[in-house]
Structure 1
Amino acid sequence: MINFRYLLLAAGLLPACSALAQTVPAATTAVAPATYTVTGRVTDRSTGQGLPGVTVLVKGTNIGVSTQADGTYQIKVPDTGKMLVFSSIGFIVREVKLTGQQVVNIGLATDSKALGEVVVSAYGVEKRAAGIRIRGSGAKGQIANDNASYGRPFYPAPRPEPGAGETYASVTENGFHVAQKEPLSTFSIDVDAASYSNVRRFLQQGQLPPPDAVRVEEMLNYFQYDYPQPAASAAEPFRVLTEQAQCPWNPAHQLVQVALQARKVPNAQLAPANLVFLIDVSGSMQGADRLGLVQQGLKLLVKELRPQDKVALVVYAGAAGTVLPPTAGTERATILRAIENLTAGGSTAGGAGLRLAYDVARQHFDQQGNNRVILCTDGDFNVGEQSDAAMERLVVQERESGVFLTVLGVGQGNYQDQKMELLADKGNGNYAYLDNLDEARRVLVQQFGGTLFTLAQDVKLQVEFNPARVREYRLVGYENRLLAAQDFNNDRKDAGELGSGHTVTALYEIVPVGAPATVDALKYQPTPATPAALASAELLTVKVRYKEPRGQTSRLLTLPLTGLARPLAEASENLRFAAAVAQFGMLLRQSDYRGTATYWATAQLADGARRFDPDGYRAELVRLVKLAEGLHPDPAYGAR
């Protein structure tokens, strides 16, 4: 039997049982101090680029914000505030005296010592950023000099070494296939981006990520690309694009880019949303980088809600319960109050929580709307269904109702990436990892439509290679999205979903006819010779199948690619930047297929493809590549 008294206590909602409004404390006569607004921009002093995710804190208080993607910020400062503190891992902390000024622009200098300082303790490895000293204090701990990382990960008590105790699915990297024998390559799209923000978390803490934490396709699809929108008259909700150029890590090979650009639908025109926030409030979610970060992120999302949208709130710890029934988007104060009242404690009944959340979503299903459960957790389920297989069966069964699933992961040390990727994949949804408040803003505000509104479902790609022009090919990434050739035409086979404004980017490394083969010719079973085709002949044909959001029958699109591969320097900025991201992923994975790639060459390639960088994330990638170069034990990886 569910212990709702315990559940409501864990959620911080007692004494309310029937009405959330009863949880509002009685009015007091205290007067809030007068405030004024300070705005500004934080940049990297060495490059002038805006720095996203920098903590801006009013010293001596818990008032703080994170800078946005372009380095800008806005903070309400009480009249009593005397100092602003600017901090970010890898940069020297700066303090600015407040004398009533309303604009504060500053540049931060890099501090290599901050990333290299390691303290070995009984808990494992503890990283200390410049100016920040963490001391344990019961379950929550304190920041010793008020320099708290508000909106960014900070670790309330010593935790295990990053990655220790975390689970990642084993990835066996795609190899080369002979086009004569295997002309078809089939896979599901993947718009998840969790791997990139997780990799960023490791690097910013001064550590290389585990190889299996690096999924190249998720790194590729983290970024925006300057792809053209579908024509206004087009029936399809996305455009298919292809391009070919010289491969940067193996100049004798070619690189083919296959991309999808989904139509960007203005938020006001999106279908009504029936959203159920499913929040893990178990003991493992204690901390500002876990439940605290989830609360801040959901508050940002609530501000985007429209009158036609509805939100419910389900929590689970030792048991599961509904603490906020479906509530109109206009009732923001009520929704925010429910989010603010959450506290963590107890075991983790993830299966019970998922069942209840899907049940609430089905009860208020909108036939013309977007029905979705948003699960926020570190994935550490320990009550009820625990195995990946059991959770998969549960989600596969529930998705038949037409309710989609978004998974937002947080935390470290016990982070269950493998489980959460599986849930999102099987639940017709997407998966993001929140390493700071800026990432929560990117996922839930800037990509509101793409994250929460589906334009096409079960989107599959199949590429057929012409053996007269292609000797061998290799799909870079998408290892856990591969499909059998016959799955492409099977409308019962599940595949990925495409949201408003989403882009999908895939890269193939091609061994052209005439280039040295990666496999020796067979002696006893020789492959019949294929006459080399003219350059005007098709290199390959891309086929795409997709369904309408609630459709049962797929539609087919085809697009051939002809012509010759251009030198890399003449390729589009989209292809050059995607190549740099893929090369970075292969280096982090220590791939057998990395060829001549080095971190230095990767940074140069990415830095030369940053003209289109509306949010500053391409500049951030260059900084992360340089961090990785300094962390790698083999100097050959960073060779010029």
Structure 2
Amino acid sequence: MYDMKIFSLIILLFSIVGNTQGQNLITGVVTAKDSNQPISGVLVKVGGKSHQVLTDSVGGYSIEAISGDKLSFIFLGYEIKEVKVGKMNKIDVQLNPEVRHIEEVSVVAYGTAAKRNITGSAVQIRGMASVGYAPPGNSESYASVKENKFLSPSKDPLSTFAADVDAASYSNIRRMLNAGRLPEKDAVRVEEMINYFHYALDAPTNGDPVRIYSELTSSPWNKDHQLLRIALKAKDIPKENLASSNLVFLIDVSGSMFGENRLPLVKSSLKMLVDQLRPTDKVSIVTYAGSAGIKLESTSGDQKMKIKLAIDELEAGGSTAGGAGLKMAYALARQNFIQSGNNRIIMASDGDFNVGVSSDKEMESLIGTESKSGISLTVLGFGMGNLKDSKMEILANKGHGNYAYIDNISEARKAMVTEFGATLFTVAKDVKIQVEFNPGTVQAYRLVGYENRLLDAEDFNNDAKMGGDMGVGHVVTALYEIVPVGVKSSAVGLVDDLKYQENKKVKPSDNATEIATIKFRYKNPEDDKSQLQSLVVENKVKSFDQISQDFQFATAVAELGMLLRDSDFKQNSNYDSLIKRAKEAKGKDEEGYRAEFIRLAENAKSITQSEQLTLK
């Protein structure tokens, strides 16, 4: 009897050894047969086993399998392909497109939702729903941007806007350009591209939280025009002197966060942030999918392993109750509120809410109420194909916070480590800028970007109206394009003289030595009353080679933004000119961000030329 048991055990061991000896790492690239382009987000799974992976941004994958296993390749809009594993360790696959009209069914994470006229395969959707995977589609949403136009200072003397410290647009369009395609026009917010980069300015030394700068030069895309740079520099505070933090990580663990560039990247990003915490800081974790729940109660920053273990345990699956998650996160932040501290929710999501409070207006109302609680909201966007950029931007703007898009681990390090203070610690809130232009020297002006941060003139002095928040060491840059008096410019529209009203002519100004007066307001983080500062811009135009390298580089970034938007005001903009200027103004570039910009501009030029040739 014992001999039989020993014999059976030996047989079992040989069986296990036999099954593991052939285990190999299979790698390959998945492309579309119709275009020969790599496909990101293809589900690759081993038949009969739970092991599965997704292809990366260039269509690559790696998965363990043994000889005889069947690999299934699944992607919405393409036929499922099965390949038997043999002796080869490299298996490249091409997927055939399949077009069918399916009524009333659409995959939403682990379930289904009503939708009409979806292109794809019914068999494929069933296969993907069985593993709870919602494949990336073309459902990204961006707020419509109506470009600022040239205005006459005799009719519109005041230009008012909220400081914008977000930089999400730049990393998002970088992701698209790196994937070999031009971004959607409304995804390009020029001011966020400009403000992505670090600019060397001296911080205030007189106790003020913010210091203002200006520079004036000729416009590189229209030599008859001028460019005015306005820059605000927030004060620097050593990390050890920063206020204690009460942080709530609000993490989207719904099915739409399944994939390597989603929840796994969220985990890596937040663990970088955990490494920056001090014993006086504390962290809570709220997660949401079909419902919201508390993953980790408030925990001291010196218990890093406990916090990281809680993060590592997260898995994606289910629908997306983002509104419920936000309510719970705010409640938890209030429960652990630190007086005179940094109380902040850090939300990591693709913004694809589909349960409960979910529309842009509903989210704006919810955050608008909570923003008065002294709790700020930092929004970190992840994922591609279903990114709800418009919703994420609203949350950050209304939540007294900032919005960053994380497309790779380098960007995570930039936001969580390199710019730790600027991302998480506010030194000036409700920052607003108002510029009064002198009609005696300025014929017309145009604010480059900031379309979604414009304010009415009377909002500037109204402390109830929100502005932007600036973090430790932050720099905010704005550019105005100016048409001087006496210059004939086709960029400025002409209006016929009025018939029923007096047609007033601008008289020479007594202040011909001035271009404009800049005013800005801000509140200290715990104050409700704003402070006012101002600066006069003299009519002294420097030649382009005399202005700062930072200003020169910012003009190249703005020009790329106008080209990517195909702006009505791009005038003589061109890739060669901006790339040349960017190279000459690269400077030290210790982190390599400016060198990366130059490569992106070169890629954008090549993609644009390729598309133009295709259209011919």
Does TM-score exceed 0.5, indicating one fold?
A: yes
Q: Secondary structure at the match of 2:271?
A: helix
Q: Distance in 1 between matches of 2:454 and 2:31?
A: 40
Higher helix proportion (structure 1 or 2): 2
2:165 aligned with 1:191, yes or no? yes
2:233 aligned with 1:261, yes or no? yes
Q: Secondary structure at the match of 2:514?
A: coil
RMSD across aligned positions (CA): 2.7
Q: Secondary structure at the match of 1:383?
A: coil
**1:454 paired residue number:** 426
**1:480 paired residue number:** 452
Amino acid at match of 2:53: K
Question: Structure 2 vs 1, CA of residues 603 and 147 (structure 1 numbering), >3 Å: closer, same or farther?
Answer: farther
**2:44 paired residue number:** 136
Map 1:457-536; keep pairs closer than 5 Å.
457-517=429-489, 518-520=492-494, 522-524=496-498, 527-533=503-509
2:144 aligned with 1:170, yes or no? yes
Amino acid at match of 2:54: G
Q: Secondary structure at the match of 1:459?
A: strand
Q: Secondary structure at the match of 1:313?
A: strand
2:99 aligned with 1:127, yes or no? no
Question: Structure 2 vs 1, CA of residues 563 and 142 (structure 1 numbering), >3 Å: closer, same or farther?
Answer: closer
Q: 2:555 aligns with which of 579, 584, 591?
A: 579
Map 1:306-321; keep pairs closer than 5 Å.
306-321=278-293
Q: Distance in 2 between matches of 1:303 and 1:489?
A: 41
Q: Distance in 1 between matches of 2:411 and 2:76?
A: 22
Gaps of 5+ in 1: 1-59, 63-84, 86-92, 94-113, 149-155
Q: Distance in 2 between matches of 1:157 and 1:609?
A: 46
**1:8 paired residue number:** none
Q: Distance in 1 between matches of 2:33 and 2:196?
A: 34
**1:203 paired residue number:** 177
Q: Secondary structure at the match of 2:305?
A: helix
Size of the aligned set, in residue pairs, is 513
CA contact (8 A) 1:598 1:636 kept: no
Q: 1:417 aligns with which of 376, 389, 403?
A: 389
Question: Structure 2 vs 1, CA of residues 163 and 224 (structure 1 numbering), >3 Å: closer, same or farther?
Answer: farther
State the 1:529 CA deviation.
Answer: 3.1
2:194 aligned with 1:220, yes or no? yes
**1:332 paired residue number:** 304
CA contact (8 A) 2:194 2:558 kept: yes
2:141 aligned with 1:230, yes or no? no
CA contact (8 A) 1:61 1:146 kept: no
**1:9 paired residue number:** none
State the 1:536 CA deviation.
Answer: 6.2
Q: Secondary structure at the match of 2:602?
A: helix
Q: Distance in 2 between matches of 1:287 and 1:267?
A: 34
Q: 1:378 aligns with which of 343, 347, 350?
A: 350
Amino acid at match of 2:536: P
Amino acid at match of 2:415: V
Structure 1 runs of 4+ aligned residues shifted over 4 Å read 142-148, 156-163, 533-536, 633-637
**1:403 paired residue number:** 375
Return 466-475 or 518-527, whichever deviates more. 518-527
**1:97 paired residue number:** none
State percent identity of aligned pairs: 49
Gaps of 5+ in 2: 1-23, 47-51, 64-72, 78-134
State the 1:146 CA deviation.
Answer: 6.7
After TM superposition, the score normalised by the length of structure 1 is 0.76
Map 1:352-371; keep pairs closer than 5 Å.
352-371=324-343
CA contact (8 A) 2:142 2:389 kept: yes
**2:399 paired residue number:** 427
Amino acid at match of 2:354: N
Q: Distance in 2 between matches of 1:290 and 1:635?
A: 30
Q: Secondary structure at the match of 1:624?
A: helix
**1:610 paired residue number:** 586
Q: Distance in 1 between matches of 2:169 and 2:36?
A: 22
**2:117 paired residue number:** none
Map 1:533-552; keep pairs closer than 5 Å.
533=509, 537-552=513-528
Q: 1:626 aligns with which of 595, 602, 611?
A: 602
Q: Secondary structure at the match of 2:278?
A: coil
Deviations 1:448-501 (A, max 9, x none): 111110001100000000111001000000000000000000000011100001
Q: Distance in 2 between matches of 1:284 and 1:460?
A: 36
CA contact (8 A) 2:376 2:401 kept: yes
Deviations 1:207-254 (A, max 9, x none): 0000000000100110001112212xx131111000000001111100
Deviations 1:414-452 (A, max 9, x none): 110000001111111000000000001100111111111
Q: Distance in 1 between matches of 2:404 and 2:32?
A: 30
After TM superposition, the score normalised by the length of structure 2 is 0.79
Deviations 1:153-180 (A, max 9, x none): xxx9647898821000000000000011
CA contact (8 A) 1:126 1:158 kept: no
Q: 1:273 aligns with which of 211, 221, 245?
A: 245
**1:305 paired residue number:** 277
2:308 aligned with 1:342, yes or no? no
- Bigger Rg over Cα: 2
State the 1:384 CA deviation.
Answer: 0.5
Q: Distance in 2 between matches of 1:614 and 1:409?
A: 26
